[in-house]
Amino acid sequence: MPKKRTEKKLVGLGEDVLKDIKQKKNPKIEIPIRSLSNVVYDEKTKSLTLGDKVSKRFFFNVAHAKKFMQTMMVAAFCKELLNEKIHTSLRDMYYNLKHTISNSDENTFDEQRESDPIVIDLEVALDVLREQLHLSADVRGRAVGNVTILDRGDTVNLAKLGSGGYAIPSNIEDIKFKKVNAKYILVVEKNAAFERLHEDKFWKKHNCVLIGAQGQAARGVRRLIQRLSNEFKLPVYVFCDSDPYGWYIYSVIKFGSMSLAHVSDRLGTPHARYIGLTISDIEKFGLKDFTIKTRDVDIKRAKDMMKYKWFQHPAWQKELKLLIKGKRKAELEALSGRGLRFMTEKYLPQKIKNKEFLP
């Protein structure tokens, strides 16, 4: 039971501190460092992960004492959430924990930006997801396909949700997949493309699960992609704008992100592949008239990405170079220049048939 495990870890944190106190030691909490200096790309697992640098937070240290107290408060709060079977947001937690310490004019927390990083600290220190600590993240994204899930007691068939689809929640941990009948998962960056594919019944014809991320994939979306593809051995194809931001969205789904490197193993999907758009597609699919001039920030980002270890594959280096040289980018909607159903009927089927994916 993952819930019992999370509870045990929270209790363990408290017990370690108690042990220190009983032994008259300076109570401490060990927290792996998650600054960029400790983020490494693991070539073997194809994911961003944390190195082995660890920091210690001591109770009897003027520079640590307040953070130590805050860490204990957040941990106790999460334990309470688990006991009460209640989930909440970071902002609600902040308001709930904020108060003036009696006989002082010191607040427990002055700003939410003090409590947010503590949650990440606990996520790293205890090696759990914040969703397992019952702290929900932002929600965004929808899904449709031949997938039947059990979610909070309800059996939901994602093939029978009309035009709307299933609103992907923050917490995917407690969802059970009852029946999955699909050949692959298609993740679409933009809602307009999701709507097009949904209306054209692409997921029915091609028997896939269609997930609309609506921009950068929320944690719930990333976790859903990972669980679904791992538990049912489904390939994952990611479909984004042909620009550095779109490629970054893909890379986060696949490799993880630098700021959340400690959870790449639970939110990343290293076997995901990139189906498009690419700069090469512009020529190949006659999209030249529908491209956009890059902005300076695109070029800068592309140059940065060329150095990332997880973008070293020659195919990606080629695309990045093409973008930098040609100074043109293309959005998913550019495919509509070739006809509204070009994406559904030509582009995607051809790419999938010929296995034209980037790694």
**Which parts of this chain interact with its own copies (CB under 8 A)?**
81, 84, 86-89, 91-96, 98-100, 136, 138-139, 142, 149-156, 160-171, 174-175, 191-192, 195-196, 199, 214, 289-290, 331, 333-337, 339-341
Pick 242 or 264: Cβ nearer its own copies: 242
Phi, psi of 217 (to 5 degrees): -65, 125
Pick 117 or 339: Cβ nearer its own copies: 339
Contact 98, 107 (CB under 8 A): yes
Task: State the minimum distance, in angstroms, from the CB of residue 286 to its own copies.
Answer: 12
Pick 62 or 86: Cβ nearer its own copies: 86
Task: State the minimum distance, in angstroms, from the CB of residue 215 to its own copies.
Answer: 11
Give CA–CA dist 68/73, Å, rounded: 9
Task: State the minimum distance, in angstroms, from the CB of residue 233 to its own copies.
Answer: 24
For the chain, the helix, strand and coil percentages under 3-state DSSP, each to the nearest 5 = 45, 20, 35
Instruction: Please give the structure tokens belonging to residue 235.
Output: 């390939």
List, as one string, the DSSP characters of 73-129.
HHHHHHHHHHHHT--EEHHHHHHHH--BPTTSS-BS-SSHHHHHHHHHHHHHHHT--
Contact 170, 224 (CB under 8 A): no
Catalytic site residue from 94, 95, 245, 250: 95
Question: Is 95 annotated as catalytic?
Answer: yes
Report helix, strand or coil for 187: strand
Pick 127 or 151: Cβ nearer its own copies: 151
Task: State the minimum distance, in angstroms, from the CB of residue 70 to its own copies.
Answer: 17
Residue of 94, 95, 92 whose CA lies nearest to 114: 94
Task: State the minimum distance, in angstroms, from the CB of residue 69 to its own copies.
Answer: 18
Pick 33 or 159: Cβ nearer its own copies: 159
User: Which residues form the catalytic set?
Assistant: 95
